[in-house]
Amino acid sequence: MKNINKIILKIEENHNKFTKSEIKVMNFILQNSKYILEHSIGDISSKIGISDATLSRFAIKIGFKGFNELRFILDQESKRVNIETNHNNSSILDRLVNDYKKNLDQNVELIKNEEISFLINSIKTSSRIKVYGIGSSGYFAKEMGFRLSKLGFDSKAITETHEMKIDANFCNEKDLIIGVSLSGLTNDVIESMNIGKNKGARTIAFTNYPNSKIGEFSDKIIKIISKNTLEMGHFISPQITLIFILDYIISRIILENPDKYFEMGFNTIHSIFKQNDLK
């Protein structure tokens, strides 16, 4: 794994715990890596406008022994970049492509087969699958519900808050609830998962922040790294990463029993075209 990924992953995992001073440190690290490598801790803290102790606390909070270890990792990555980079990434297209690659690489590093296997087994052994999401996450919920339905699963996406809570009240131990909240703080999704969990349903969350509120009501977390630390992050849809993970999940399901699921998918598509011919 690339060293810069180590720092970004640690920052992303703990982002929602940072104080205002620590957010200043985060932004400075992401935007001024060269300055950090060339100046003393005193110079860095003075430049940011915080204390030396805040630098140390920040490094420890994201999993390093201290700021010097963080700086060592950053130095190793800078050397790698200097060796590998022999082109100009100044165009918007190049910068976007570079960010897409970074984002996918970071998420590949996060994939844990134990968690994916738990999700797939839960999908296969549940009578009904409910996918809850609101806003942008709601688009993904609909896509996931649709893709699972095509393979023959009793899958339903719910993106309206009242309907979500009503649905959760009628869940039982045979049901699976998949909650999607990249922030980990979407109250309606969290409350609905809590209701469903109390009714006996299994719960799995897709989120950037496993330590956030949604984690309290989830049997498993599928960790998704966000795009906040990417250069062009504000212009990149969060759907890209979610769809990438969904493609991996669907591929795993199909290839574990290709005869069954290829036939199921074919029959579904055939039924759609047959109905269209009747119109």
pLDDT at 4 over 70: no
Which of 68, 86, 104 is where one domain is finished? 86
Question: How many separate helices (H) and strands (E) can be counted in the chain?
Answer: 13, 5
Domain CATH for 60: 1.10.10.10
pLDDT at 24 (0 to 100): 92
Q: What is the token pair recorded at 83?
A: 């060796």
Contact of 144 with 239, CB cutoff 8 Å: no
Q: Is 144 in the same domain as 26?
A: no
Q: Is 135 in the same domain as 77?
A: no
Q: What is the token pair recorded at 41?
A: 């801790």
Contact of 143 with 167, CB cutoff 8 Å: no
Rounded Cα distance, 9 and 159, in Å = 29
pLDDT digits (tens, 9 = 90+) for 134-182: 998 999 999 999 999 999 999 999 999 999 999 999 999 999 999 999 8
Q: Is 71 in the same domain as 121?
A: no
Binned at pLDDT 50, 70 and 90, residue 275 comes out as low
Percent over 70 (pLDDT), the chain: 83
Contact of 207 with 184, CB cutoff 8 Å: yes
pLDDT at 172 (0 to 100): 97
Rounded Cα distance, 182 and 172, in Å = 26
pLDDT at 39 (0 to 100): 86
Q: Is 136 in the same domain as 14?
A: no
Q: Is 279 inside any structural domain?
A: no
Mean pLDDT of the chain: 84
Number of domains observed in the structure of the chain: 2
Q: Is 153 in the same domain as 242?
A: yes
Q: Is 91 inside any structural domain?
A: no
Q: What is the token pair recorded at 250?
A: 């669907």
pLDDT digits (tens, 9 = 90+) for 52-109: 999 999 999 988 888 888 888 887 776 665 545 544 546 778 888 888 888 888 888 8
Q: Is 140 in the same domain as 7?
A: no
Range(s) of the domain holding residue 237: 113-274
Q: Which of 2, 81, 5, 1 is nearest to 37 (CA)?
A: 81
Average pLDDT in the 41-46 region?
90
Question: Which one of 30-44, 73-87, 259-273 scores highest in mean pLDDT?
Answer: 30-44
Q: Is 105 inside any structural domain?
A: no
Between 264 and 260, where is the model more confident? Answer: 260
pLDDT at 197 (0 to 100): 97
Contact of 127 with 174, CB cutoff 8 Å: yes
Q: Is 120 in the same domain as 253?
A: yes
Q: Is 128 in the same domain as 264?
A: yes
Q: Is 172 inside any structural domain?
A: yes
